[in-house]
Amino acid sequence: MAMMTFKATTKKVGAGLNVESESRGFKVTLDEPLELGGTNKGMNPMELVLCALGGCQVIAFSAFAEQKGVDLQDIWAEVEGDFDPAGFMGDFSVRPGYSQIRFKLHIKSSSPADKVEEYVEYVEKICPVGDTLKNTVGLIKTDVVIEPSEKACCSSCCCCGGN
């Protein structure tokens, strides 16, 4: 299989912090809760990261269970992550991202427990989102495009004062 490239776009929904992200036509609404300055129309991006990890664990476990000879009747995941909001608020001595993410799996299976646990360890090794989080990723800002402003701007105009 060749390398794959996944894509997504995010746009604002009105003023404030409400945005919509989209990938392959599928959309997710994001916002911040009221206490973090948003209008609480959706989960926030850090919560979405946890949803991605739980989704990846459950999907990966489901994908190869039969091939690995593990009976799978059900699986669900609980995920939680700690971060210090001081970093987001501009304190550069604190990392703004997650310092730790924990997950707990619940598995309903008639297979022997040691076989299930061995398969859990296998899934941990091949989980794409898990690997993306626990190891570093090359994150590159390729471009910043300043789009034409709707407000004409000059150094002495009456409407915007050059800002």
Q: Are the C-beta atoms of 82 and 99 separated by less than 8 Å?
A: yes
Restricting to residues 122-161, name those near its own copies by CB under 8 A: 124-151, 153, 160
Q: In the structure encoding, which two tokens stand for residue 99, read together?
A: 């310092």
The only residue of 82, 93, 156, 158 in contact with its own copies, by rule CB under 8 A: 82
Q: Are the C-beta atoms of 80 and 50 separated by less than 8 Å?
A: yes
The only residue of 34, 110, 156, 158 in contact with its own copies, by rule CB under 8 A: 110
Is 93 near its own copies (CB under 8 A)? no
Closest to its own copies by CB, 110 vs 156, is: 110
Is 98 near its own copies (CB under 8 A)? yes
Total residues contacting its own copies (rule CB under 8 A)? 124
Other C-beta atoms within 10 Å of 91: how many?
12
Count, residues in the chain? 163
Rounded Cα distance between 45 and 36, Å, is: 12
Restricting to residues 62-81, name those near its own copies by CB under 8 A: 62-64, 69, 71, 73-81
